[in-house]
Chain A
């Protein structure tokens, strides 16, 4: 299973973390710090797998972001690379040519998308279209709810003026 997903920038800033195994706050910061040191210093041509504390960490760099996933020692690393790419492509489709800024200002949406792709550290959906459809449906639910709230509060505001 995937134990954690971490997105770090080239400077070591954390953009997204998701933990599928129990890690306390302290442990999380420790993991992030160690992995940053390990991965950010690797030369570009090297292979995308590092062994760390009994786990394997698969990472790939997209522009200025490193996408890292920590897996068990007996998992298929090449498949995880594919999952990372799957995630990135869906993000790309959703945000339209996604860049790091998108993920900073819309981090909650990135999380929603991740939750449609992975649950319990396992892959949930292999079709990008389906994921996009589900996210769109939920977004529209949110929008309608907001519109309703706005219209009601408008009514109340006007009523109590």
Chain B
């Protein structure tokens, strides 16, 4: 015997490995075996090749690297004998996957084996192909597989059918080739082939709509017949499972029916009877029967079924829902989610059971039930549902709390009709699970509170009470601190007490205590502490007697390691000490945060769509509250800054209008006079959005100071003029000279080597904002221009109207001109001068040309 061959048999090696007590021992044994195998491979050992491969496969299953054995698989596959091929193909499927290039080398062997005379070898090849072929291999070998779909041997036929499924998945274009053979497979009698054939048809329908049409036309009858036969067939021991003949065939046929009947009334009608029969006849005491019923219900929901059939389906689901078996209940919840779209009322009837499922001990069921509950919420039941969910929130598991909290918050937001109820629920959620509440949720809450002046007193008092009991919930602390800062005097003076409130007296120092606690807790993070500092500043202004105490508290953070807190502490201290006079105006009550703007900025939610017609308020996204400003100084309410950011992003669905894009937004654009100081000019022109209604003059100033221009669909808001003054760090617009001067010189708006454009102006007396411009285009080249189109773009506060041009052909060398009238209205006449960008497109010698430029030399006073 060859001294280098691996003498151990497979069994012995396995035994040896299992006998190892430690991982190190096991590694040693494996290393020894691998070395022996490698030696054998390099020697090209024939005799023990397939034993070596078996060993290699076992080692692979243990998790060790085995790529040196890949070529062995190929050699075994190429051998002539059946045992070698068998183990070779197995090794191939185990050790390689479709993404490796080595796989391509097998293609030739596969091709030969597919044509082998031994049916079992053909079967091996089909199996390997069906499990791991790549797209190229699929393309190469598809014709062989097609041919094999029609052999005599049912074993080969069924394998070929399944192999075709893989081919179609990898190369959907080949679907058409398999349509005909697949349809004929449905006429088989052999169950194995039938199952494979039905599955092939299902995948064909998924892959190509042509196939779907073809099969729908030709195979619906056959399919119904198959199902009928197998449903009515007598006891067949070979296929019987739990008293039902071949449930697998039932299920596959039902699934194909669903694909064929979807959206097609005729086929659906044809299927009604057999579906009703299966739904009523199938026994549901064993898993097999339930599996069939499940598939049947799915199919009924999927096709255009009659209402009677739908009622049947919902009843089955109801039965499933009250089954004690967890699997069945899980499946029922799953199905009910789809049934909600079909028959909302029927699902509502099961609401209580579903609520029970939310509290189930099984995590999978809980998750499904919660999603289903979310779909079922409507205006009528939202209050009771929310109450139940919040009660459950108290006792639920930690890992479930996050999901549950998120869902409760979105339900409350979407369906709240009264602010009081919304605020109440949110306070409860914050007290119970504040740590799981996401930031945008409590931001929304703050926006809501600021919009409800009559409830602010109530809010701050409730929060004060809640804080006493549950101050470990971070979000609760933050909201409390903010509210006390804003509405502290309502707390102390019992402003706006609602009827159901109990009387409560809170002194000023109590209020300060709360914020101090929040500030000093170990578990508070930086954001909370920062907010607390701001709140303290506000309180010191609202309750002057507490100023000194507050100053001391604030000073304690003077040397805090966090830069943010240190900065705030020092600045606030200085404000309290030295700037008493401006302190009160600094920390005035915040203006109402505009809900619609805020909500408009939040990105779409991730929840399932609701059947109720609620104008969906998208959730999540950037905060509207001012609290998160990183700059520590308590500037005057920055909220309008946020609103102004909205302004600069106007309601035009245009893409972020950077310079390159604005030219697309022509026609009806506004003419604008740039502030003649140069720098601002380009910025303004950069941000042209044509269709925006000319908003308040703040637009331009904002645009200059905030160059980021988001372009999302916020609503324009008339910002208070005072804020503009604050932020108007603009280079002052040149005050324009008296505008009654009717004579404006013509200008050369644009001149290049091939084109010249001149503008001449007229103004109507008494309408200083309107200007009529006559544009004259002259062709300076020696070619005639055709399809001449002039376009102009103007900034927002100018309106532009273009009249049709005199012609669209411009003769060469100035032999003729095109004239066009423009009329502009400058809504900032007197403050800003005109500015315009123009673009001209034309054809010369059948080539498209484009020229563009900017006009900066408008006469002042336009």
Contacts and interface: CB of A to CB of B under 8 A. Distances in A.
A122 interface: yes
A76 interface: yes
10 tightest CB-CB pairs across the interface, nearest first?
A: A78-B291, A47-B326, A119-B162, A120-B166, A125-B192, A119-B130, A126-B248, A142-B83, A120-B130, A46-B362
Contact of B57 (A108, A129, A149): A108
Given A47-B330, A119-B162, 6 more contacts: A14-B62, A14-B63, A77-B330, A108-B54, A124-B196, A145-B81
Interface in B116-131: 120, 123, 126-127, 130-131
Interface of B: 11, 14, 18, 54, 57-58, 61-63, 65, 81-83, 86-87, 90, 93-94, 97-99, 120, 123, 126-127, 130-131, 155, 158-159, 162-163, 165-166, 169, 191-192, 195-196, 199, 238-239, 241, 246-249, 251-252, 255, 287-288, 290-291, 294-295, 298, 326-327, 329-331, 361-365, 367
Contact of A46 (B159, B166, B238, B361): B361
Interface string A125-138: 11111100010011
Interface in A29-55: 29, 45-51
Nearest to A81: B287
Nearest to A29: B63
A105 B246 CA distance: 32
A86 B291 CA distance: 14
Contacts of A18: 93, 131
Nearest to A45: B326
Interface residues of A, number: 54
B153 to A, nearest CB: 11
Nearest to B15: A105
Given A78-B327, A111-B90, A47 B192 contact: no
B245 to A, nearest CB: 10
10 contacts: A46-B361, A46-B364, A76-B255, A76-B294, A78-B327, A107-B58, A115-B90, A123-B252, A138-B82, A142-B86
Contact of A82 (B11, B162, B241, B365): B241
Given A108-B90, A120-B163, A126-B195, A19 B97 contact: yes
Contacts of A108: 54, 57, 87, 90
A127 B192 contact: yes
Which residue among A125, A137, A138 has the maximum number of chain B CB atoms within 10 Å of its CB?
Answer: A125
Contact of A17 (B61, B127, B155, B169): B61
A112 B298 CA distance: 34
A115 B58 CA distance: 17
A146 B327 contact: no
Contact of A22 (B90, B99, B248): B99
B58 A120 contact: no
Contacts of B241: 82, 86
A23 interface: yes
Contacts of B97: 19, 22-24
A114 B238 CA distance: 19
Contacts of B62: 14
A120 B327 contact: no
Interface in A86-141: 86, 104-105, 107-108, 111-112, 115, 119-120, 122-130, 134, 137-138, 141
Contacts of B120: 137-138, 141
Contacts of A20: 131
B711 to A, nearest CB: 33
B5 to A, nearest CB: 14
Contacts of B367: 51
A22 B191 contact: no
Given A108-B54, A119-B130, A137-B120, A124 B162 contact: yes
B165 A77 contact: no
Contacts of A22: 97-99
A118 to B, nearest CB: 9
Given A82-B291, A134-B155, A24 B99 contact: yes
Contacts of A142: 82-83, 86
A126 B163 contact: no
Nearest to B57: A108
Given A49-B327, A51-B367, A119 B163 contact: yes
B61 A14 contact: yes
Given A47-B330, A78-B287, A107-B57, A126 B239 contact: yes
Contacts of A65: none
Which residue among B54, B199, B246 has the maximum number of chain A CB atoms within 10 Å of its CB?
Answer: B199
B287 A82 contact: yes
Contact of A124 (B90, B99, B192, B249): B192
A112 B238 contact: no
A18 B155 CA distance: 22
A81 B81 contact: no
B18 A104 contact: yes
A136 to B, nearest CB: 11
A125 B157 CA distance: 12
A130 B157 CA distance: 14
Nearest to B158: A124
Contact of A129 (B99, B195, B238): B238
A46 B326 contact: yes
A41 to B, nearest CB: 11
B195 A76 contact: no
Nearest to A13: B62
Nearest to B327: A47
Contacts of A51: 364, 367
Contacts of B82: 138, 141-142, 145
Contacts of B295: 76, 79
B283 to A, nearest CB: 14
A82 B248 contact: yes
Contacts of B191: 125-127
Given A17-B61, A126-B239, A77 B98 contact: no
Contacts of B199: 122-123
B203 to A, nearest CB: 8
Contacts of A107: 57-58, 61
A18 to B, nearest CB: 8
A24 to B, nearest CB: 7
Contacts of B93: 18, 115
A112 B327 contact: no
B2 to A, nearest CB: 13
A146 B249 CA distance: 38
Contacts of A123: 195, 199, 248, 252
B645 to A, nearest CB: 37
A120 to B, nearest CB: 4
Nearest to B54: A108
Contacts of A145: 81-83
Contact of A77 (B63, B195, B196, B327): B327
A46 to B, nearest CB: 5
B288 A82 contact: yes
A119 B364 contact: no
A130 B194 CA distance: 14
Contacts of A16: 61
Nearest to B94: A111
B376 to A, nearest CB: 20
